[in-house]
């Protein structure tokens, strides 16, 4: 099918977004991949935290972890257009800069709202009210508007004004307390941002559910998503054990409540591992055969999952004695062929060359006007009739679509457009005074 014949599922749906950090980009990624026209509303007065928290990147930070997010660790002017989170999660989106703190900027935003279907935002919980872009205001302009708000703790409740980064919600929701090594102090538990992509994916579903409901009701609605609550649903095992048995879980490590062996095992090479998960006695017997120790399957110490769990330290040592002399991928292939669920621990650096992903052409080459040409993970669903690949385009540079949107959609004249530029309501580079 040629590009022009393809009709993506959400074509014709216009989404305004202030969808930041990692939850926000993951939401816009899915919506834009599905064909929605997503317009990220930014400003030249306020740094978009997905792009940067600093007007000029301090050299020490550029040399550290933050620097890896920028093409060639280049912090020169315009670096905010060359940032990984933004350029991944905003591909196929548009960018307009509107200073919502100015009267004119807000008016123009309201005009956009009149012509939009959806507004999604995950600013801190009170920002929408401060900017007068809260749901009561916007729905009076466009009653069909769907507004999804997804700050860390939602828009109601005593923590609604809390800062809610991923690590914070996960801690409050009880995720941090159950991940970590079985024997280690909680202060050694590394950060995780599981809640961010989860929130983003929830937003993508919520928007579509509300679009469907609107066909029946004729009305838009407000949707309140607490990232913390959305994570809690994932902790069902610990949640239900407390709900049913008042049992509190600590660190689980790599253990599984009804499988043993169930761990990662060192393989030949530096930091190479294979994960093995044995779901049944049959699979255990197959594992014993595959590693040349059929005797273990008859050993009463390993007869059932309960015994294997109890004696897992001994058993793990035997398995590792076999895996540590083998290449991880070869170990995986050998175990899978024998009917033992196993997987090589793939290094992210090698995913672009992974045989499964190469065969499925998962990575997509995208040329970005400021960042250059790179390979990006492709859309997460393979649609047979109207494929989501190739994705419609790269992420926008700051304010790239000001003219398209303001003149094209809102019908501003050239003269009005130039006046906006002069008054710095719009622009394509951050002001020197820009802050977060």
Partner 1 sequence: MSGGALEGIVVLDLTQGVAGPYATKYFSDYGAEVIKIEQPGHGDSARRLGPFPGDEPHLERSGMFLHLNTGKRSVALDLRTASGQRILRQLAKQADIVFESFRPGTLARLGLDEATLARLNPRAALVQLSNYGQTGPYRDFEADDFLAYASGGVFRVTGDPERPPIRLGLYAPLFLVGVVAAGLAMGAFFGSRRDGAGERVDISMMEVLASSMDRGGPNLVAYQYSGELTTTRERMGRLSALPNGIYPCADGYVHVSTQTAWWPRLCRTIGRPELADDDYYVSRFTDFEAAPDFDALIYPWFLERTKQEVMVAAQAEGWPASAINSMDDVFRDPHFRAREFFRSIEHPLAGTLELPGPPFRMLGTPAEVRRAPLLGEHTAEVLRSRLGYSAEQIVRLHQGGVI
Known catalytic residues are 256
Residue 1 found at the interface with partner 1 (CB under 8 A): no
Distance (Å, rounded) from C-alpha 320 to C-alpha 267? 8
Q: Cα 143 to the chain's mean position, in Å?
A: 30
By the 8 A CB rule, do 295 and 288 touch? yes
Decide whether 247 or 298 has the Cβ nearer to partner 1: 247
H-helix or E-strand spanning residue 149: strand 146-149
Task: Tell which one of 103, 359, 415, 432 touches partner 1 (CB under 8 A).
Answer: 359
Minimum distance from residue 72 beta carbon to partner 1 (Å):
6
Nearest to 29 by CA among 376, 275, 407, 428: 376
Q: Which residues of 75-94 are buried (b: 16+ CB within 10 A; e: fewer)?
A: beeebbbbbbbbbbbbbbbb
Decide whether 22 or 406 has the Cβ nearer to partner 1: 22
> Residue 328 in 3-state DSSP?
helix
Contact pattern from residue 133 through residue 172 relative to partner 1, giving x for each residue in contact according to CB under 8 A and a dash for the rest: ---------------x-x--xx-xxxx-xxxxx-xxx-xx
Task: Tell which one of 217, 280, 304, 367 touches partner 1 (CB under 8 A).
Answer: 217
Task: Tell which one of 48, 99, 123, 221 touches partner 1 (CB under 8 A).
Answer: 221
Site for partner 1 in 286-325 (CB under 8 A): none
Residue 284 found at the interface with partner 1 (CB under 8 A): no
Distance (Å, rounded) from C-alpha 393 to C-alpha 410? 23
DSSP bridge pairs for 15: 38, 118
Residue 261 found at the interface with partner 1 (CB under 8 A): no
Q: Do β-strands 342-344 and 14-18 pair in parallel, antiparallel, or remain unpaired?
A: unpaired
- Computed on alpha carbons and rounded to an integer, the radius of gyration of the chain in Å comes to 25
Distance (Å, rounded) from C-alpha 86 to C-alpha 30? 14
Residue 213 found at the interface with partner 1 (CB under 8 A): yes
Phi, psi of 274 (to 5 degrees): -125, 135
By CB under 8 A, the count of residues binding partner 1 is 164
Residue 246 found at the interface with partner 1 (CB under 8 A): yes
Decide whether 206 or 426 has the Cβ nearer to partner 1: 206
Task: Tell which one of 253, 311, 327, 389 touches partner 1 (CB under 8 A).
Answer: 253
Minimum distance from residue 115 beta carbon to partner 1 (Å):
20
Decide whether 102 or 364 has the Cβ nearer to partner 1: 364
Residue 22 found at the interface with partner 1 (CB under 8 A): yes
Q: Cα 413 to the chain's mean position, in Å?
A: 38
Stretch that binds partner 1, among 125-133, 178-186, 400-408, 415-423 (CB under 8 A): 178-186
Residue 209 found at the interface with partner 1 (CB under 8 A): yes
Task: Tell which one of 88, 119, 284, 309 touches partner 1 (CB under 8 A).
Answer: 88
């Amino acid at each position: 099918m040629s590009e022009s014949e393809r009709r993506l599922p959400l074509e014709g749906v216009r989404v305004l977004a202030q969808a930041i950090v990692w939850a926000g980009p993951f939401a816009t990624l899915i919506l834009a991949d599905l064909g929605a026209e997503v317009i990220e509303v930014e400003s030249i007065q306020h740094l978009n935290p997905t792009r940067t928290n600093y007007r000029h990147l301090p050299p020490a930070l550029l040399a550290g972890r933050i620097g890896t997010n920028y093409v060639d660790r280049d912090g020169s002017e315009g670096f905010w257009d060359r940032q990984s989170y933004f350029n991944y999660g905003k591909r196929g989106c548009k960018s307009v800069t509107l200073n919502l703190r100015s009267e004119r900027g807000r008016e123009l935003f309201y005009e956009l709202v009149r012509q939009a279907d959806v507004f999604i935002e995950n600013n801190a919980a009170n920002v929408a009210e401060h900017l007068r872009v809260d749901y009561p205001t916007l729905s009076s302009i466009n009653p069909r508007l769907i507004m999804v708000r997804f700050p860390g703790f939602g828009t109601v409740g005593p923590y609604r004004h809390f800062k809610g980064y991923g690590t914070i919600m996960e801690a409050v929701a009880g995720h941090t307390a159950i991940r970590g090594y079985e024997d280690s102090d909680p202060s050694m538990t590394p950060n995780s941002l599981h809640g961010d992509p989860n929130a983003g994916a929830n937003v993508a579903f919520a928007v579509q559910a509300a679009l469907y409901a609107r066909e029946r009701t004729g009305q838009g609605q407000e949707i309140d998503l607490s990232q913390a609550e959305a994570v809690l649903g994932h902790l069902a095992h610990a949640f239900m054990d407390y709900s049913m048995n008042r049992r509190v879980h600590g660190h689980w490590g790599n253990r599984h409540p009804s499988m043993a062996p169930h761990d990662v095992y060192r393989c030949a090479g530096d930091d190479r591992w294979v994960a093995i998960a044995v779901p049944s006695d049959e699979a255990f017997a197959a594992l014993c055969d595959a590693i040349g120790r059929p005797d273990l399957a008859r050993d009463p110490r390993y007869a059932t999952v309960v015994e294997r769990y109890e004696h897992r330290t001994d058993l793990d040592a035997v398995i590792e004695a076999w895996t540590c002399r083998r290449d991880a991928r070869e170990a995986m292939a050998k175990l899978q062929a024998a009917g033992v669920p196993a997987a090589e621990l793939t290094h992210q650096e090698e995913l672009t060359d992974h045989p499964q992903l190469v065969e499925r052409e998962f990575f997509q080459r995208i040329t970005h006007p400021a960042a250059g040409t790179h390979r990006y993970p492709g859309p997460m669903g393979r649609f047979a009739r109207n494929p989501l690949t190739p994705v419609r385009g790269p992420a926008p540079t700051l304010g790239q679509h000001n003219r398209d949107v303001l003149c094209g959609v809102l019908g501003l004249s050239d003269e009005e457009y130039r006046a906006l530029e002069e008054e710095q309501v719009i622009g394509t580079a951050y002001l020197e005074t820009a802050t977060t």
